Amino acid sequence: MQGQAAELAMFLCLPAALALSVSAYPLVLALFQGGKFSAADAATTATTLGIIVLGLPAYVLVKVLTPGFYSRQDTATPVKTAGVVLAANVGLNFLLIPPFHIAGLAAAIAICSWLNCIMLYVILHRRGHFRIEGWLASRILRQLAAGAAMVAALWAIKTGLQPWFAGSVAHRMAAVVAIVGGGMAVYFPLVWVLGGIDKEELMLLRRRKKPVVADDPA
């Protein structure tokens, strides 16, 4: 059950993290630059966003792993790992913020998200409660392959439409639609073709989300 949850989490979070990381600057430029929000502010915001979202998959995976402890009445271990992560975060802040400023803070958050995820997984693995099996590793690798193709497509789109992201409102919105739509058009069909997701499980999930329409009493 945890393996399927991890698969679905990576299926959704991996493209979001990669897409936001590679296209952070043009998106921030298009959506927020104007008035007192200068190009320098956009660059700083984009750098922070591009780094911090790299920890998004780990943050979501932590939500997948922690029920493995709670279901066994073990609430102490996640708290202990959180304490270690907090201490590491403080240490990284002192280490990274002076040379890298706000980017150092973002990097510390992303690194600690992965640290928490890795610690929880290692503990579950050693206890024999959860491990990354071959089928899960294979699907994650295929998701990464689809993600790499999406990154290449997003890089081409943002390079080709670079003037549009700082142009008129119409140009900005068209560029945002192009980069978001282009990323989705590459990743989701490709991950489906490569087998990066259990197709039957995904179709079953879609059926569960469909609203139930009551019969007409007439």
Q: What is the mean pLDDT of residues 152-162?
A: 95
pLDDT tens digits for range 67-106: 999 999 999 999 999 999 999 999 999 999 999 999 999 9
Q: Residue 55: is it exposed, middle or buried by C-beta count within 10 angstroms (0-12/13-18/19+)?
A: buried
8 A C-beta contact, residue 3 and residue 136: yes
Q: What is the mean pLDDT of residues 119-145?
A: 94
Distance CA 6, CA 85 (A): 21
CB atoms near residue 132 (< 10 Å): 12
Confidence of residue 107 (pLDDT cuts 50, 70, 90): very high
- pLDDT exceeds 90 at position 59: yes
Which residue from 62, 77, 194 is spatially nearest to 115, judged by alpha carbons? 62
Distance CA 92, CA 171 (A): 40
pLDDT at position 169 is: 87
Show contacts of 75-80: CB within 8 Å, 24+ apart: 77/120, 77/123, 78/120
Structure tokens at 68: 């493995």
Q: What is the mean pLDDT of the chain?
A: 90
Structure tokens at 26: 């043009």
Q: Specify the pTM.
A: 0.86
Q: What are phi and psi of 34, to 5 degrees?
A: 150, 150
Domain residue ranges in the chain: 2-209
